[in-house]
Amino acid sequence: MLSQLYVETRDANTLDPDTVHLFLQEAGVEDLVARRQAEAQREGAVVSTRRKPVKPRGANQIRYVERIRQHDVNFGIGPAGTGKTYLGVACAVEALEKKER
């Protein structure tokens, strides 16, 4: 997709948001995101808290939430900024609100 965007904008030297949006629609990225969110809800991976639900973004985050719910001790290893602490705290808040162990 990036190479298509490059070819499309090579002569114009500008890339506006509308062009990017059209390419994303053509690539089906928006549909993919909607399907992932629906899949997360179907599998019960959405973490419910009083403030707002926390939705895992991808397959690895869905597995991480499932493992947290299944096991008392978990180790999340990965790069910074991938949601490990955010999801872990959300699961802890959910458990406290439900008065789980």
pLDDT digits (tens, 9 = 90+) for 14-41: 778 887 777 777 777 767 777 777 676 5
Angle, in degrees to the nearest 10, between helices 84-97 and 59-70 = 40
Q: Name the pTM for this structure.
A: 0.57
Query: Between these two residues, 92 and 16, which has the higher pLDDT value?
Result: 92
What letters, b where the CB count within 10 A reaches 16 and e where it falls short, cover 12-41?
eeeeeeeeeeebbeeeeeeeeeeebeeebe
pLDDT tens digits, one per residue of 37-46: 767 655 677 8
Residue 68 pLDDT: 92
Residue 18 pLDDT: 82
